[in-house]
Each structure stands twice: as C-alpha cells, then as structure tokens.
Amino acid sequence: MTTFQSFRGGHQRAEDPFDAKIRKSLNGEKQTTYTDAADFLENAPLEDLRLAANKLARSDADKVAAEQSKLDGDAFTKAHPEWLDTPENSYQLLAHCIAAFGTEHPNFEQMESAFQALRATNLITLNQRALDKQAHSAAQARANTIRERQNISEAEMEALPLEVLKRRALGIWE
C-alpha cells in the first residue's frame, strides 16, 4: 500500500483500493485482475467484455453442437452394427470429420460420409461378426428373389414368349 499527501491537511494517509484503482486509471494502466464477475463487468474495458461475451456464445453453441453430435453418434452406431466403437475408430472418424468438414462435432451425414471413406481405405476396424451376418442376410435375400422368379405358375409360363422360356431354362433371368 502506498501513501500519499492529502491536499487539504498536509497529512499522509494510506491509499485504499478505490484510490489505487483511480490512480492506475489516471496513469493509463489497465486493470488485469478482477475479484469476481461483478468486478469484471463493472471495470473491464469494453473490448474485454466483448471478447468474453463472444467466448460464452461460442461455448454455448459448442455445447449444443456437442450434444447433437452425441445423439447423432448414438444413431450412427445403431445404424451400423459393423462399426466397432473403439477409441482408435472414434479417433479416425473425428480426424476425418475435422479434415473433411472442419468440425469437431459431426452430424449423422458427416459421420456416414467419413465412415464410408474410412471403410474403403481400411483405416478402421470393423465387427467381423456383423459383416458376416450382413453378407448372410444379403445372400438369403438374393436366394429368395431367385426362388420367387423361378416359381411361376403354369398359366404364366404359357403366356411367356418362347424366347423368354428358353433363356430362363438356361438360367438367364433378365
């Protein structure tokens, strides 16, 4: 605490915090520490207030984007049983989204695009059991389609042109 000479009585007195603040302001010194939020709001320069407000707004927007991204991530993992939710895969997906889309909070479509790119380049590990199950389901669906095409009634066969019947007999289904 500094002391100063009073103009009135010629005696010295201790400088209180208010006097110190006024002296610093008159000397062009910028206050750099604040006791609490109220002190900051009352005494901070306008530019510091503006920066703080922008940071808070970005922070709120980031929180909303992060929450939406989490919901989209949950939907993505449900839509892709072949996706293994490991730290390595998550890192690759996020790195791809940052590089391709410039976001740390990707939405479902961005995750989907990143997944397809990473899958094509074998940069992620997939759930082999789910892939086998998907391949089995696809083969079963194809077999069912072929069976349905082959099971036509006699009346339908009689209505078909002879050329079509010959091709079908040879196994050519167009």
For residue 138, tell me if it sits in a domain. Answer: yes
Helices 108-120 and 87-101 cross at an angle (nearest 10°) of 110
In tens, the pLDDT along 145-165 reads 777 776 777 787 778 788 887
Query: What is the tens place of the pLDDT at every residue in 8-33?
Result: 555 667 778 777 777 777 787 776 67
> Cα–Cα distance between 90 and 87 in angstroms, integer?
5
Examine residue 7 and state whether it is found in any structural domain, yes or no.
yes
> How far apart (Å, rounded) are the C-alpha atoms in residues 115 and 43?
50
Strand blocks (E) in the chain: 3-5, 12-14
Is residue 135 located within the same domain as residue 92?
A: yes
Residue 134 lies in a domain: yes
pTM of the shown model:
0.51
Residues 143 and 82 in one domain: yes
Q: How far apart are CA 140 and CA 124, in angstroms?
A: 27
Can you tell me which residue has the tokens 């998907």? 134
Residue 92 lies in a domain: yes
Cβ neighbours for 40, distance < 8 A, ≥ 6 positions apart? 34, 48, 52
Same domain, 138 and 114: yes
Same domain, 21 and 50: no
Mark whether 109 and 87 lie in a shared domain. yes
pLDDT digits (tens, 9 = 90+) for 87-135: 999 999 999 999 999 998 999 999 999 999 999 999 999 989 988 898 8
Asked whether residue 128 falls in the same domain as residue 57, the answer is yes
The amino acid that residue 142 corresponds to is R
pLDDT in tens, 67-81: 999 999 999 999 999
Task: Supply angle C-alpha 2, 4, 7, rounded to 5.
Answer: 160
Q: Does the structure show a pLDDT above 70 at 37?
A: yes
Let me know if residue 36 belongs to a domain. no
pLDDT of residue 173: 64
Q: How many CA atoms lie within 13 A of 70 on its CB side?
A: 6
In a domain, 38, yes or no: no
- Parent domain of 5: 1-30
In the DSSP assignment, the letter for residue 86 is -
Domain total of the chain: 2
Cα–Cα distance, 104 to 145 (Å, whole number): 43
Q: Are residues 131 and 159 in the same domain?
A: yes
- Domain membership flag for residue 35: no
Pair (112, 82) in one structural domain: yes
In a domain, residue 16? The reply is: yes
